[in-house]
Structure 1
Amino acid sequence: MTKTLPDLEAWAIFAKVAEHGSFSRAARELGLSDPTVSKAIGRIEARLRVTLIARTSRRVSLTDAGRAALTRATRILAEGEAIEEEAGEHASVPRGRVRVSAPLSFGIGYLGATLPGFLEAYPEIIVDFALSDRKIDLVAEGFDMALRIATLDDSSMLSRRLSTVRLLLVAAPGYVERHGMPRRPSDLAGHRALGYSGSTSRGVWRFRHASLGEETVEPPVCVWSDNVDLTMPALLAGQGLAIMPEFMVWNELRNGRLDMAMPGWSVDPLGLHLVMPASPLRPLRVQVLIDYLARELAHTPWARA
C-alpha cells in the first residue's frame, strides 16, 4: 500500500488557528479565506478520525488530541517558515512576526527602551511581546524566544547568557533607623520581610559568606507577591527588607533611597538568558532580534558579564 505524505500545510494552519484561538484571525494572518482554513482542519481531522478543535458559535478550543498534536504542529510551521526565509530571494530583508516572552518588571523597565532602535533598523518586523513572570512552554505556546532571569535547567532549549543578575538584600534608611541593620542572616528572624512568591525556594533566604560559610533563614514575611513592582513602594516606605534583583534597585542604591544590608553576605546570583527552541533553522527575523537584544541588554547600567 502506498503511504501518502503528511498534510504539512494543514498542520501549519492548525498551529495558527491554535495560536490565535480563531479560524478567522488565523485566516487573515495567513492571507487565506475562512473556508480554506476550515477545510484544512477538516482534512486532517478526517484523515486521523479525531476531532482536534472543538467549535462553537462563539469560540474554538483544542481537544485533548489537539493539545497533544500542537507542539509538533507548531514546530512544522516554524521550520517551514525558516526554510522559506533562508531559501527565498527575500532572505536578506527580515520581515514578519517574532513572539517574545519576558518577565513583567524587566520587560517594562528595560525592553521598552530597546524597541525604537530595533524598529528603526527593521521596519518590516512585528515584535509581539508577552510579559509575565510565568515560565511558559516556548514550543507549545508558539514563542520564538524568551528572556529568563533564572538558573537554567531545561537542556532541551538553546540559551544565550547575556549577563549576571545579582540578588541584593536591601532596606530603606527609615527602616534601618527604626529596626537597626542586620549583621548576619540569623538576625533576620527579628525583622520584617517582603517576600517574592515566584521563587522556587519560597520564604527561604540562603546566604553565603567568604569565611563564615552558608546560613539559611526564613524571616517573618508581611507581604507576599509574585511581582516585585508591587512590593517596591512598601520597601521604599521602610516597611521591611527584601531580596531584590539588582536591575530593580541599582538606581535607588545610587541615590540613597535604599541601602544594602549585610554586604559581607551574598545570595547566589541568577543569569539573564535568551532562550530559544532547539531548532537547526531559525528565521532571519528571529536571529536579528536575538543579536540586537544581546547587544543592548549586555550594556545596561546594572549588567555584569
Structure 2
Amino acid sequence: MNTEALASFVKIAELRSLSAAAKLYGLPKSTLSLRIKQLEADLNVALFERSGRNLLLTEEGQTLLVHARQILQSCDTARAAVTEPSDDVAGTLRIGATGEFGTAFYAQMLIVFRRLYPNVDIELTFFSPHVLYAAESLDMLDAVISWDDGEADGETLSTATFALFASQSYIDRMGMPASPADLAEHLGILYRTPRGLQHWRLQKGSAQESILPRSSLIANDFWTIKYFAVAGEGIGYLPHFFTDIECERGHLVPLLPDWTSAERRVSIRVTRPHARSRKMAAFMDVCRRYFSPGFIFVGPRYYVEAIHDPSQQKEGTEP
C-alpha cells in the first residue's frame, strides 16, 4: 500500500474536500485524485461518496482512516528512529490545541521550535475542547496543549492569571473603578464559553468576587474582546501575558490591579507516551524552556494597536 496515497487520503478525509486539500498542502488536484483512485483500485472499495460540495467517507473509508493514521504515525516513528544516530531531528509533529490564544501563545512557541529544528514539519490544529479529546482527534495528534482541560495526566507547562483592562478613553468617559463594587456602573466585554458567559472571578487575599457585568458586546474569541477593549468599548477580562504589549504602549490600562483570578493551568499531554520520538522529546524540551523563568522571545509578536481612536476625534473635523 502506497504511503503517499494513504497520506493524501487522510488529508482529503480531514478536510472533506479534494480542492481544499490541494490548496492547503500545495498539491495538484490531479495528483490527489489519481492517488485516491489507485488506492480504491488496490483495495477494491469506494472510499468517498459525494454529498453536495463535501466528500464523505464510506464505511470502508472510515475503517481505513483509523488504520491509515496508525500506519503513517508508525512510518514517522520509524523514520525518526533510523535518523537517530544523526544530529538532525526530522519528521512531522502534529499538535492539537484549544484556540484561545493561538498567535500570541502557541504560534510563538512553535517559532522557537522551528528555529532550533527546521527539518521538522509542523501541523497545528485548533479544536474546541469537546472535539480535542475525542478518540478520533487524539489518533491523529502527537500532543495536545490546552487550558484547564481537567486532564490529570498532562504536564503543567505554565500558569496564567486573568485581570481587568480598559483603554484610557474608556476610563476618561466612565471613570476608574476603586473596588469590585464599582464595576456595577461599568460595561464589560464578555467571553462566551461552551457552558455560558464567563464570570469575572477575582480574588484579593482571602476575599473573592464573582461578577457578571452589564454588557452589549459578547464574543467567544479573546482577540476580539481585546480589540473592543482597546477601542474603548468596555472592560475586558484577559490574561496578563496577553495584554503586556498593549499596556506597555498605553493602549490598555490595568484596573483594580490587586484583584486577579486564581491561577489557570496550561498543560501539554503527549498522546503516545510509550512511543515518544526524538522530535517529540525535542519539542517537550523547547516547551519547558519557553516557559522557564528568564526566557526571552525574540520573534514576531501580535498585539492590538490603536492607530485611530474615534473618541479622540475633534468635533467638526474630518477623520
TM-score with structure 1 length normalisation? 0.72
Q: What is the CA distance between 1:152 and its match in structure 2? A: 2.3
- For the Cα contact (< 8 Å) 2:9–2:36, is it kept in 1? no
What secondary structure is seen at the aligned counterpart in 1 of 2:251?
coil
1:152 matched residue in structure 2: 149
The CA distance in 1 between the partners of 2:43 and 2:286, in whole Å, is 37
Q: Does the 8 A contact of 1:10 with 1:40 survive in 2?
A: no
| SS of match in other structure, 1:266 | coil
Q: Which residue identity does 1:223 align to in structure 2? A: L
Q: Which residue of structure 1 lines up, in the alignment, with residue 174 of structure 2?
A: 179
Q: What is the rounded CA distance, in whole Å, between the counterparts of 1:129 and 1:251 in structure 2?
A: 25
Structure 1 residue 211: deviation in Å?
Answer: 3.7
- Determine if the alignment matches structure 1 residue 100 to structure 2 residue 95: yes
Match status 1:123 vs 2:153: no
The share of aligned pairs that are identical, in percent, is 21
Q: CA offset at residue 255 of structure 1?
A: 3.9
**Number of residue pairs matched?**
279
Does 1:20 find its partner at 2:12? yes
1:205 aligns with 2:203: no
CA separation of 1:220 and 1:67: change in aligned 2, threshold 3 A: farther
SS of the residue corresponding to residue 267 of structure 1 reads coil
Question: Equivalents in 1 of 2:115, 2:210: separation in Å?
Answer: 48
User: CA RMSD, aligned part only?
Assistant: 3.9
What is the Cα deviation at residue 105 of structure 1? 6.2
Q: For each residue in 1:166-209, what CA deviation from the matched residue of structure 2 results, as whole angstroms up to 9, or x when unmatched?
A: 11111223322322233443432221001112364514222223
Any idea what the Cα deviations from partners look like across 1:219-268, whole Å, max 9, x if unmatched? 11221112122232321232211100122212233344322222332212
Q: Could you say which residue in structure 2 is the equivalent of 1:215?
A: 209
- Could you tell me how far apart the structure 2 residues matched to 1:221 and 1:292 are? 40
Distance 1:17 1:269 in 2: 42
* TM-aligned CA distance change 1:41 to 1:15, over 3 Å: farther
d(CA) in 1 for partners of 2:150 and 2:43? 36
Unaligned stretches of 5+ residues in structure 1: 1-8, 46-50
- The alignment partner of 2:93 has SS state of strand
Given the superposition, is the C-alpha separation of residues 174 and 123 from structure 1 closer, same or farther in structure 2, using an over 3 Å criterion?
closer
Is 1:164 matched up with 2:159? yes
Equivalents in 1 of 2:194, 2:242: separation in Å? 16
- Rounded Cα–Cα distance in structure 1 between residues aligned with 2:124 and 2:188: 32
- Which of 245, 269, 273 aligns to 2:267? It is 273
Provide the residue aligned with 1:61 in structure 2. Answer: 56
Structure 1 SS opposite 2:246: helix
